[in-house]
Structure 1
Amino acid sequence: MISRPVLILLLVFGCLQYYAMGNTAKGPEDCCFKFFLKPIPVRAIQKYENTSNDCPKSGVIFTTQNSSRICADPGFKWVQRAIDLVDQRMYDN
Structure 2
Amino acid sequence: MRTSHILLLCILGHALFATVFCNNASGPDDCCFEYYPRSLNKKHVRSYYMTDHRCPRTAAVLTTKKGSTLCVDPKLPWVVRVMKSLDQQNF
SS at match of 2:9: helix
- 1:88 Cα deviation from its structure 2 partner: 0.9
Partner amino acid, structure 2, of 1:48: Y
Q: Distance in 1 between matches of 2:69 and 2:10?
A: 44
| Structure label with greater radius of gyration | 2
The answer for the alignment partner of 1:11 in structure 2 is 13
Q: Does 1:20 align with 2:26?
A: no
In structure 2, distance between residues paired with 1:67 and 1:8: 49
- Rounded to whole Å, the distance in 2 between the matches of 1:19 and 1:66 is 37
Tell me what 1:42 maps to.
42
1:89 aligns with 2:89: yes
* Unmatched 5+ stretches in structure 1: none
Give the structure 1 partner of residue 58 of structure 2: 58
Q: Secondary structure at the match of 2:34?
A: coil
* Identity over aligned pairs, percent: 25
Q: With the length of structure 1 as denominator, give the TM-score of the two structures.
A: 0.83
**4+ residue runs of structure 1 moved beyond 6 angstroms?**
none
- Alpha-carbon RMSD: 1.8
Tell me the TM-score normalized by structure 2. 0.85
Residue 24 of structure 1: CA displacement?
2.4
Q: Residues 19-40 of structure 1: CA distance to partner in whole angstroms, max 9, x if unpaired?
A: 221222235xx11100012111
Query: 2:67 aligns to what SS in structure 1?
Result: coil
Note the residue ranges of structure 2 that are not aligned, 5 or more in a row.
none
The number of equivalent residue pairs is 89
Structure 2: distance between partners of 1:49 and 1:79? 12
